[in-house]
Amino acid sequence: MRRYNYMLLLKRPGYFLLVISSLFLLLYLTSCEFEQIGPEGLTRTEMLAGMLGSDKAWELQYFTVDGQRIYPSYCDEDNLTIFAHNGSYTLDHGYESCYPSEPDSEYGQWYFTNNGNDVMIGVNGNRFEYEIQSLSSNRLEIALYSLGNRTVSTFRAAY
C-alpha cells in the first residue's frame, strides 16, 4: 500500500491550487439550485421580474372565475402589478382609485414555491400562493383557489 505525502502539495503550489480550485468548484456546483431556462432562453425569474437589477410590470387583462371571463372595472384598469428581480412586490393602484381609503401602492415580497410552479406573494401581512398556469416574457396567467372557487388572472407585460 502506497502512502501519499501530503506535504508534497504544499511544496508544489500548482497542485495545491488545482486541488483547492476543484474542491470549491465542486462545492459550488452541488450547493446551488439552478433555475431552469424557458423556451425563450430566459429563466422563470427573468420572465416574471425582468433581468437582474430591474423589475417588470404587468397589467391585468381579465379574470376567469369558474370559466366566466370578467374584465376589470374602470378603476382597476390602470393598476400595475410589479415584480422586482430582488423579490420585492408592488401593487400600484394607478391614477383611478376604487376606494377613497385605498393607498396609492401596496408593497410586499414574492418568491417561487413548488419547484417554480407556484408563486407566493406576501402583502400587508397576508400571503397568497398562486399556481402559475402560463408564463412567458409577455403573458402571465396565475390561479388562486379560494372559498371553493378557482380564479385565473391573466396579465400582459406593461414594461
Residue 75 pLDDT? 85
Q: Domain range holding 128?
A: 44-157
Q: Do 110 and 52 belong together in one domain? A: yes
Residue 125 lies in a domain: yes
All three cell numbers of 6, joined, read 501530503
Which pTM value belongs to this model? Answer: 0.73
Helix (H) or strand (E) holding 108: strand 105-113
Within-domain flag for 59: yes
Distance CA 5, CA 16 (A): 13
Model confidence pLDDT, tens digit, residues 5-58: 555 545 555 555 555 566 555 555 444 444 556 667 899 999 999 988 889 999
**Residues 73, 23 share a domain:** no
C-alpha torsion sign, points 124, 129, 131, 134: positive
pLDDT at residue number 96: 83
18, 50: one domain:
no
Closest of 106, 54, 58 to residue 84, by C-alpha: 54
